[in-house]
Protein backbone atom coordinates (compact mmCIF):
# COMPACT_ATOMS: atom_id res chain seq x y z
CA UNK A 1 0.00 0.00 0.00
CA UNK A 2 1.29 3.41 -0.82
CA UNK A 3 1.11 6.34 1.52
CA UNK A 4 0.34 8.92 -1.15
CA UNK A 5 -3.14 9.45 0.27
CA UNK A 6 -4.74 9.46 -3.17
CA UNK A 7 -8.05 7.63 -3.17
CA UNK A 8 -10.04 6.68 -6.22
CA UNK A 9 -13.76 6.36 -5.59
CA UNK A 10 -16.15 4.42 -7.77
CA UNK A 11 -19.49 5.37 -6.28
CA UNK A 12 -22.65 3.41 -7.04
CA UNK A 13 -20.76 1.15 -9.40
CA UNK A 14 -22.55 -2.16 -9.77
CA UNK A 15 -19.88 -4.78 -10.26
CA UNK A 16 -22.46 -7.57 -10.57
CA UNK A 17 -20.77 -9.61 -7.90
CA UNK A 18 -17.98 -9.16 -5.45
CA UNK A 19 -15.43 -11.13 -7.50
CA UNK A 20 -15.45 -8.40 -10.15
CA UNK A 21 -13.95 -6.00 -7.61
CA UNK A 22 -10.89 -8.22 -7.41
CA UNK A 23 -10.45 -7.80 -11.16
CA UNK A 24 -10.69 -4.01 -10.80
CA UNK A 25 -8.18 -3.68 -7.95
CA UNK A 26 -4.74 -5.25 -8.21
CA UNK A 27 -3.87 -6.43 -4.71
CA UNK A 28 -5.56 -7.15 -1.41
CA UNK A 29 -9.10 -5.83 -0.87
CA UNK A 30 -10.93 -5.51 2.46
CA UNK A 31 -14.74 -5.81 2.26
CA UNK A 32 -17.24 -4.09 4.55
CA UNK A 33 -20.91 -4.96 4.81
CA UNK A 34 -22.52 -1.53 4.55
CA UNK A 35 -22.33 1.68 2.55
CA UNK A 36 -19.23 3.88 2.71
CA UNK A 37 -21.10 6.59 4.65
CA UNK A 38 -21.27 4.32 7.72
CA UNK A 39 -17.48 4.23 8.11
CA UNK A 40 -14.62 6.60 8.90
CA UNK A 41 -11.52 5.71 6.89
CA UNK A 42 -8.15 6.96 8.15
CA UNK A 43 -5.17 6.54 5.83
CA UNK A 44 -1.52 7.52 5.89
CA UNK A 45 -1.01 6.60 9.52
CA UNK A 46 1.24 4.20 11.36
CA UNK A 47 0.55 1.74 14.15
CA UNK A 48 3.08 0.08 16.41
CA UNK A 49 3.22 -3.71 16.63
CA UNK A 50 5.73 -6.40 17.58
CA UNK A 51 5.44 -7.75 14.02
CA UNK A 52 3.42 -7.10 10.88
CA UNK A 53 0.04 -8.71 11.46
CA UNK A 54 0.58 -8.86 15.23
CA UNK A 55 -1.37 -7.13 17.95
CA UNK A 56 -1.16 -3.35 17.67
CA UNK A 57 -0.33 -0.99 20.51
CA UNK A 58 -3.34 0.29 22.46
CA UNK A 59 -3.72 2.90 25.16
CA UNK A 60 -4.89 2.23 28.72
CA UNK A 61 -8.54 2.33 27.59
CA UNK A 62 -8.06 -0.10 24.68
CA UNK A 63 -8.01 2.41 21.83
CA UNK A 64 -5.60 1.89 18.90
CA UNK A 65 -2.71 4.39 19.03
CA UNK A 66 -2.09 6.20 15.72
CA UNK A 67 1.20 7.80 14.69
CA UNK A 68 1.99 10.19 11.84
CA UNK A 69 0.60 13.28 10.17
CA UNK A 70 -2.48 11.52 8.77
CA UNK A 71 -3.81 10.63 12.23
CA UNK A 72 -7.21 12.07 13.09
CA UNK A 73 -9.35 11.41 16.16
CA UNK A 74 -12.21 8.92 15.78
CA UNK A 75 -14.11 6.39 17.87
CA UNK A 76 -11.79 3.60 19.02
CA UNK A 77 -8.51 5.31 18.13
CA UNK A 78 -6.31 7.91 19.82
CA UNK A 79 -3.54 10.16 18.54
CA UNK A 80 -0.13 9.25 19.93
CA UNK A 81 0.26 12.74 21.41
CA UNK A 82 -2.68 12.06 23.74
CA UNK A 83 -2.22 8.33 24.42
CA UNK A 84 -1.53 7.02 27.91
CA UNK A 85 0.11 3.63 28.33
CA UNK A 86 0.75 2.54 31.89
CA UNK A 87 -0.39 6.00 32.99
CA UNK A 88 2.32 7.80 30.99
CA UNK A 89 2.24 9.54 27.62
CA UNK A 90 3.73 7.42 24.84
CA UNK A 91 6.98 8.51 23.22
CA UNK A 92 6.41 10.00 19.78
CA UNK A 93 9.11 9.05 17.28
CA UNK A 94 10.24 11.40 14.53
CA UNK A 95 8.81 10.70 11.07
CA UNK A 96 12.17 9.22 10.03
CA UNK A 97 11.78 6.54 12.73
CA UNK A 98 8.28 5.42 11.68
CA UNK A 99 9.63 2.32 9.93
CA UNK A 100 8.91 -1.40 10.04
CA UNK A 101 12.44 -1.93 11.37
CA UNK A 102 11.36 0.09 14.43
CA UNK A 103 8.00 -1.69 14.76
CA UNK A 104 5.80 0.93 13.04
CA UNK A 105 3.62 -0.19 10.13
CA UNK A 106 1.76 1.82 7.50
CA UNK A 107 -1.93 1.22 8.16
CA UNK A 108 -5.44 1.98 7.01
CA UNK A 109 -7.96 2.27 9.82
CA UNK A 110 -11.68 1.68 9.20
CA UNK A 111 -14.04 2.69 12.01
CA UNK A 112 -17.69 1.62 11.88
CA UNK A 113 -19.96 4.47 12.97
CA UNK A 114 -22.53 2.06 14.42
CA UNK A 115 -22.22 1.00 18.04
CA UNK A 116 -21.35 -2.65 18.64
CA UNK A 117 -24.82 -3.21 20.14
CA UNK A 118 -26.40 -1.97 16.88
CA UNK A 119 -24.37 -4.41 14.76
CA UNK A 120 -21.31 -2.23 14.21
CA UNK A 121 -18.07 -3.87 13.15
CA UNK A 122 -15.78 -1.89 15.47
CA UNK A 123 -12.32 -0.70 14.47
CA UNK A 124 -10.29 -2.52 11.83
CA UNK A 125 -6.53 -1.99 11.53
CA UNK A 126 -5.49 -3.01 8.02
CA UNK A 127 -1.88 -3.53 6.94
CA UNK A 128 -0.91 -4.08 3.31
CA UNK A 129 -4.36 -3.35 1.86
CA UNK A 130 -4.60 -1.88 -1.64
CA UNK A 131 -8.36 -1.33 -1.73
CA UNK A 132 -11.55 -1.10 0.31
CA UNK A 133 -14.94 -2.28 -0.95
CA UNK A 134 -18.15 -1.26 0.75
CA UNK A 135 -20.73 -3.90 -0.14
CA UNK A 136 -24.45 -3.82 0.47
CA UNK A 137 -27.33 -6.07 -0.57
CA UNK A 138 -29.15 -5.06 -3.74
CA UNK A 139 -32.40 -3.30 -2.97
CA UNK A 140 -35.25 -4.79 -4.91
CA UNK A 141 -38.51 -3.03 -5.63
CA UNK A 142 -40.11 -6.24 -6.88
CA UNK A 143 -43.37 -6.89 -5.04
CA UNK A 144 -44.39 -10.33 -6.38
CA UNK A 145 -43.60 -13.87 -5.41
CA UNK A 146 -41.55 -14.15 -8.62
CA UNK A 147 -38.81 -11.85 -7.27
CA UNK A 148 -35.33 -13.34 -7.03
CA UNK A 149 -34.08 -13.68 -3.50
CA UNK A 150 -30.63 -14.06 -2.08
CA UNK A 151 -27.03 -13.26 -2.70
CA UNK A 152 -26.91 -10.39 -5.17
CA UNK A 153 -24.56 -7.74 -3.86
CA UNK A 154 -23.69 -4.28 -5.08
CA UNK A 155 -20.36 -2.65 -4.44
CA UNK A 156 -21.46 0.87 -3.65
CA UNK A 157 -18.00 2.36 -3.24
CA UNK A 158 -14.42 1.29 -3.83
CA UNK A 159 -11.34 3.13 -2.60
CA UNK A 160 -7.86 2.48 -3.90
pTM above 0.95, yes or no: no
Q: How far apart are CA 36 and CA 98, in angstroms?
A: 29
**Model confidence pLDDT, tens digit, residues 101-150:** 999 999 999 998 888 788 777 899 999 887 887 776 554 444 444 444 44
Q: Could you tell me if 89 and 114 are in contact, meaning their C-beta atoms sit under 8 angstroms apart? A: no
Q: How far apart are CA 140 and CA 51, in angstroms?
A: 45
Residue ranges per domain, the chain? 19-159
**Model confidence pLDDT, tens digit, residues 43-82:** 889 999 988 888 999 999 999 999 998 888 888 999 999 9
Amino acid sequence: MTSSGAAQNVNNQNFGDVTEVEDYIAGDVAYFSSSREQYTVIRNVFVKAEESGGDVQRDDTGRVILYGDGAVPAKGVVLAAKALVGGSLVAIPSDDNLTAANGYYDATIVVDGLADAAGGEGVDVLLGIEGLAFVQPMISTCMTSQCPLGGEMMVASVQI
